[in-house]
Structure formats: C-alpha cells, structure tokens
Amino acid sequence: MNFYAIRAIYLFELARTWRTLLQSIATPVISTSLYFVVFGSAIGARMEAMHGIPYGAFIIPGLIMMALLTESISNASFGIYMPRYSGTIYEVLSAPVSYIEIVIGYVGAAATKSLILGVIILLTARLFVDYEIQHPLMMALFLVLTAVTFCLFGFIIGIWADGWEKLQIVPALIVTPLAFLGGSFYSIEMLPPLWQKVTLFNPVVYLISGFRWSFYGVSDISIGISLAMILGFLGACLLAVWWIFKTGYRLKN
C-alpha cells in the first residue's frame, strides 16, 4: 500500500476545502440552520410530539442526513471530475498508484469533509433545540457508513458525468427529493397504508430511520434492516468502482 500517494491525494483534496470554506462548509450549515429556525422553532412549536419526541428534536437526524447525503455526493463527484476535466487524471493513472489507493485518497478526503460538516450541523442544532443521543457509537457508525457510501456514489457520478450539468442531475433531481420523502420531516407511520409500503422502496428511509434510532431509540424500520441496507449499497458502490477501474470506463478515453 502506497501511503505516500494516498496522503498526497488526500491532503490535496482537503486543501481545496479550506480554499473554498464558504461554499464547502458555511453554505450548507446556514441552509440547514434555516430549516431549524423554520421547522424546528416556528412550526415545531405548533406541532404535536412524534413518538414522544418534540418535533424540533425529531427532525434533527433527518436534516443532518439530508445535508450529509448531498454534500458527500457533491464533494466526491467534483473531486474526481475536476482532474478529468483538466486532464490531470492521466498523471494519476500513469503514476505507480493502484486504483485502491486512488479511491481511498479521493473518497477519504470527501468523506472527511462530509463528516466535519455533519458534526458542525449537529453542534449547530444545539443552538435551536435540545436533543439527546442515546446510542452515540451507533450514531457515529451511521455517520461514517453514510459518508463513505455516498462519497463512493459521488465518485461514480464524477466519473460517469461528461459535463458540469450532469454533476448536479443526481443530487438535485434524485437524492434531494428522496431525502424529503424519506421521513426527514415526518414519521412514515403518518402516511396511509398504501404509501407506507411505497415509501419502503425509498432507500433513504432506511438511513434516516436508523440514524434517528441512534438518537432517540425509536425508528420506523428495524435498526438491523437499516444497517443491512446501507451495507448493501456500500457493497454495490464498491463493485461499481472496481468495474470502472477494471474496464477504464470514462477514464482512458
């Protein structure tokens, strides 16, 4: 394992975050804070408790997960697309670095940025509502698994995209709607029986439900099923990345 190569890619990607601090950290934190103000304080004060949890506290896991999903995809997709766009990807591919080391460097840096953002949002939420974390180790596990998995997914999107517009298609038209419909602001038990079954086809439901369980010990879906779903998606992303480097898809042409 070439740790020097991994370190070089990792630090280079992290350095880009500090150069664009306003866009990378401040903007998503401010956007999420507005959700806390509107839904947590203004509307939440007039909402009934869900599963015995005040509404403002109930939406915290969903908002953190929603920000984590979008930022993980954006960070990783831009990180690998930029060297493809500028042509410097060939320097990386021709270096004595394996595809595993390349993925660890790019995905590791993107996941680190996403985790930092998630922790900042978690601390910011304390300014607006009180909350508790009953299972901190499970919360950390869900944060890490979600960040790594969706950074891998973003890495795949960054290789698949052949233009700047395509980098935004999946986050804007697929992931964000799925996050809104995945129980970020409500419990799926509030839906009619038919729509409860339809919602189970939304993979984001399992992430938010499991993450909420780590906070309050309540969830719409079994914690075991939630973990199995995120691990299954992680395995699928790893398989897709392996195939991309094996075939050279959009990397060598």
Q: Is 101 contained in some domain?
A: yes
What was the pLDDT predicted at 250? Answer: 81
Q: Is 51 contained in some domain?
A: yes
Domain holding 109, by residue range, is 3-247
Place 87 in a pLDDT band, splitting at 50, 70 and 90: confident
What was the pLDDT predicted at 40? Answer: 66
pLDDT in tens, 122-142: 988 888 888 889 999 999 999
Q: Is 252 contained in some domain?
A: no
CA atoms within 13 Å, Cβ hemisphere of 232:
10
Mean of pLDDT values over 39-58: 75
Q: Is 88 contained in some domain?
A: yes
Contact 218, 51 (CB under 8 A): yes
Mean of pLDDT values over 101-124: 91
What was the pLDDT predicted at 163? Answer: 81
Q: Is 46 contained in some domain?
A: yes
Q: Is 253 contained in some domain?
A: no
The DSSP element (H or E) to which 123 belongs, if any, is helix 99-125
Contact 72, 154 (CB under 8 A): yes
Please give the Cα distance from 20 to 70 (Å, whole number): 17
Q: Please tell me the total count of domains within the chain.
A: 1
Please give the Cα distance from 220 to 100 (Å, whole number): 36
What was the pLDDT predicted at 21? Answer: 64
Place 24 in a pLDDT band, splitting at 50, 70 and 90: low
pLDDT in tens, 194-221: 888 888 899 999 999 999 999 999 888 9
Longest dimension (CA), the chain: 60
More confident call, 107 vs 165: 107
Q: Is 142 contained in some domain?
A: yes
